Amino acid sequence: MDKSIVYLIFFTVYTFFLLFIGKSGFKRTETRRDFYLASGSLGIRISVFTFVATWLSAASLQGFTGAVYYYGYTPILYAVFPWFFGAFIMLFLVKKLRVYNVLTLPQFFSKRYKSRNLQIISAIIIILIYTLYIIIQIRGFGIVMSQLLGISYNISIFLVYLFIVYTTFGGLFSVAKSDGMNFFLIVFGTLISVYLIIRKVGGINEIFSSTYEYKNIFGDFSVNSNKSSVFHGMSYYITVLSGFFGWGLGLAANPQYIVRICSAKDDKTAYKMIGYSLAVLLVIYVFLVIIGIGGRSVLTSSVDNSPDAFFPNLINGILYSPFSGLILISIVASAISTANSQLLIVASSCCNDIYENISKKKVSEERFINFNRIVIVIFGSISLFLAINPPDSLLIYGNYLWGFFTATFFVPLYGGLFFKTGNKYGVYGSILGGGLTFIIFKEIAASRGITINPGLPSFIISLILYILISIYKRDKAEGDKTCGSVYPL
């Protein structure tokens, strides 16, 4: 059977199940708490499914795997270690954060620092960052769908737009259920890919033995040694270290994981969710490393496409098999499962954190949820338009966006939970100083070829300003003396 027909069958089956599962959330969603947090009722299995599926975006399956192919083991230090470091940090906020009983991260800022303006400002930041980050998922989907159906990139990204919007309409109930299906697709897709690459190369030892041909497998280990890369140069070690302040601390303060913590049915479930998810993710990243390194043994010459296209090209080309359709669909699943989570948070930021604070008009829960769905369409459309001219590297682009969360959210979030003197004035200085430092440093770094993530200097400035201003304004602003008390909405 022609492979285009096989791909079409896989795509049709996936579409059917996605549409069927997506509609389930509509029946269970009656309030905004249902819509944003699935009523805070998610058990351990579905919590792990949605946490892992949300984590494994196109930046992981395509960006990271392609980066391993191009640059060797360095992306592990630059991205995976920081990701796991950030997830470990989140364990410390679970119990304290859940006491506040909030729907969104901006709402936490409002309750902890007694400032509605902070809720609005942080919501605007979330809307901006996630609208840009969803571009990663749309680009990843577009690359794969071009392989699956043989259609143009622009038509492909319109399809993912429809999928993302539909699965988000049912709120977190729909998102979590579709994440369950996507979770298994991603796991089986990567597992089959590993089997195919090992069989093609001749064994796991043959895959990794090829790395010994290179003098420095953490530096100059690249297909094209002349290729300019953020992973090369005198600032190599500082660049890798700065990844902890981009990906790492940015993940630890990322609203999509804050939502997963708050949607768990109890503290114990939230703790287990993070622990079990990291165990699953560790296995999957080992698989992705094997695929990336194995690709170097199979593809003996440099590929012309970007790193993001390496995995789909490998599966559709030299590793083509009857399972290629399933594997490509698993990559599609990773893009959808992240994008719909982020689009839901964009809606909550716009409606719950901004609209509710500036509008005195009270609306019914049904009308409020429908307003969220309108916002989903609007910002999904904006991301779709921006994805027509996407960034070159999903992994590096995502690192910058997560770094901005480091610059603006990490210190106010963790400072609010563990630093009793912290107050809204310190947060204003932290967000403004950290954000401006990030933007200025990024522009300077780009013009001078500096590869250090702006999250590093911006974190330092953000922390210093938060502490100093909070102490200076201690007499003017009452700090949260219990650091665990709950303020009224």
Spell 397-413 as b/e; 16+ CB within 10 A means b: bbbbbbbbbbbbbbbbb
Closest CA to 170 of 328, 38, 306: 38
Say if CB 173 and CB 24 are below 8 A apart.
yes
Closest CA to 281 of 159, 413, 417, 187: 187
Structure tokens at 282: 């560790």
Cα–Cα distance, 368 to 306 (Å, whole number): 42
Domain ranges of the chain: 3-393
Query: What percentage of residues in the chain have a pLDDT greater than 70?
Result: 89
| Confidence grade of residue 285 (pLDDT, cut at 50, 70, 90) | very high
The model's pLDDT over 360-407, given as tens digits with 9 standing for 90+, comes to: 788 888 899 999 999 999 998 998 888 888 776 667 777 788 889 999
Q: Which residue has the higher pLDDT, 449 or 161?
A: 161
The sign of the torsion formed by the CA atoms of 402, 407, 409, 413 equals: positive
Q: Residue 52: how many CA atoms within 13 Å on its side-chain side?
A: 28
The model's pLDDT over 328-353, given as tens digits with 9 standing for 90+, comes to: 999 989 988 998 999 999 999 999 99
Query: What percentage of residues in the chain have a pLDDT greater than 90?
Result: 49
- pLDDT for residue 300: 60
| Confidence grade of residue 53 (pLDDT, cut at 50, 70, 90) | very high
Average pLDDT over residues 76-84: 90
Structure tokens at 466: 């938060």
3-393, superfamily in CATH? Sodium/glucose cotransporter (1.20.1730.10)
CA distances 282 to 71, 87, 150, Å, are 20, 12, 33
- pLDDT for residue 244: 87
- pLDDT for residue 213: 52
Residue 347's identity, in one-letter code, is: A
The model's pLDDT over 87-139, given as tens digits with 9 standing for 90+, comes to: 999 999 999 999 999 999 999 999 999 999 999 999 999 999 999 888 888 88
The sign of the torsion formed by the CA atoms of 111, 25, 258, 428 equals: negative
- pLDDT for residue 211: 59
The model's pLDDT over 156-215, given as tens digits with 9 standing for 90+, comes to: 888 777 888 888 888 999 999 999 999 999 999 999 999 999 999 888 888 777 655 543
